[in-house]
Amino acid sequence: MDSCKLRALLKKEEGPKLDFKAKISLETYGDKKEFVKDVIAIANSRGGRGYIIFGVQDKTKKILGINPEDYNEERIQQVIYNRCDPPVAVSMDFIELEGKTLGVLTIYKSHHRPHQMIQNGAFYIRRGSTTDTARRNEIANLFQENGLMRYETVVLKNVSLDEIDETIVKSYFERLGFVGEKPSEILMESLGIISQKVGGEGYSPTIGGLLLFGKNPFLYLPQAYIKVMYDDKTELFYGNILNMLDNTMGVLKDLIKDKDYPFEALEEVIANALVHRDYLDDSRGITINITPGFIEITNPGALVSQNSAYQFTRGNNPYRRNSWLYQRLLMLDHKKRFMRTGIGMTRIKNSFSGIGKVKFINIGSQNLFKVILPRNTNTRENKGN
């Protein structure tokens, strides 16, 4: 940390990875708890390094200064270590600015999320510039992103095996080299498609099994849909992942009515959305907004913490949120559309190079990822005339 970096941080507003405080106080139990809550929340929030800058008024960003003797790094680390599991790595720097000393606590990017407050068992995240208790789905997402939980193999204990389409399962097994009249429950369990209920009272589909092989996943997973909006109209598409992709693309080709449009690239974006979306977010589905000038695909699920936008757009072996789904879609989809997903967006940009600029927008605070594809229909119509 140096004065140039500090000046750049002071120009920013408080957010998930940045907090301004007038001073530190570690005298009472409550003081220590509030301090560690902020550290945990910043460490648990998406992004790289985080910072707490001491000696700055949080609203006006007026420089107040601090006494460095009150900010012993060893003591700060000890307070965090005694209250945080696993501990968060931090360092303390002191920088002179405008004749006053500011303290900068750097909270390093964590590969051991989620961090938990030992004393009360709570997990904290940042909502904008505010520290808040993480909700159940947010905690589950943190565990999933860091490989501590696999959401797709969670059993849906109240769903009957009748909801699994045996025809699709049989086709999948044949691709794997297993041939038989009826898919074996033992084999389906070993592949994570179904699982035993608690207490061993029969089988039920897993979430991933329903998303890939289900007849009506939407009945049990209300977030499993694609919404297409155009000309003040809305169409909803349900079904398993491959059905949603097939049916949505069929309608989009009819709507766009341009045989030269790069539909393969458009299909790749939608396939990416289906396989990388955050299925723990049950409040919304994938939306596709079609206008005369662009097509906007909005996907619940910001880039996971292990990825940077650079890695994702260039295909530098990005971390996959739903690796179980992805691995099975590679074999299940005979059109091989998921062979292309996640190996970079450069090809998509190149596909639209003659039409306009493709935009990739990661909105961590809203847990959304957007892709905006150009249409430039006026130019095409003029060329046709």
The residue-averaged pLDDT of 7-22 equals 93
Structure confidence at residue 321 (pLDDT)? 77
Query: Over 70: is that where the pLDDT of 306 sits?
Result: no
Q: What is the pTM of this model?
A: 0.66
Position with higher pLDDT, 63 vs 310: 63
CA-CA distance, 288 to 293, in Å (whole number)? 13
pLDDT-derived band at 320, boundaries 50, 70, 90: low
Query: Over 90: is that where the pLDDT of 9 sits?
Result: yes
Position with higher pLDDT, 295 vs 282: 295
Task: Give tens-digit pLDDT for 164-217.
Answer: 999 999 989 888 888 777 778 888 888 889 988 766 678 999 999 999 999 999
The residue-averaged pLDDT of 353-379 equals 84
The amino acid occupying position 302 is: A
Structure confidence at residue 338 (pLDDT)? 82
Structure confidence at residue 385 (pLDDT)? 40
> To which residue do tokens 């766009």 refer?
256
Q: pLDDT over 90 for what percent of the chain?
A: 55
Position with higher pLDDT, 175 vs 253: 253
Give every CB contact of residue 267 below 8 A, 6+ residues apart in sequence.
Answer: 245, 249, 337
Domains of the chain, by residue range, sit at: 3-134, 151-217, 226-384
Contact call for residues 286 and 218 (beta carbons, < 8 A): no
Position with higher pLDDT, 332 vs 149: 332
Task: Give tens-digit pLDDT for 66-110.
Answer: 999 999 999 999 999 999 998 999 999 999 998 999 999 999 988
Position with higher pLDDT, 76 vs 135: 76
Please provide the CATH number assigned to the domain covering 3-134.
3.30.950.30
pLDDT-derived band at 383, boundaries 50, 70, 90: very low
Mean pLDDT value across the chain: 86
**Class of the CATH-defined domain 226-384:** alpha beta
Structure confidence at residue 377 (pLDDT)? 56
Query: Over 90: is that where the pLDDT of 291 sits?
Result: yes
Query: Over 70: is that where the pLDDT of 5 sits?
Result: yes
Structure confidence at residue 280 (pLDDT)? 81
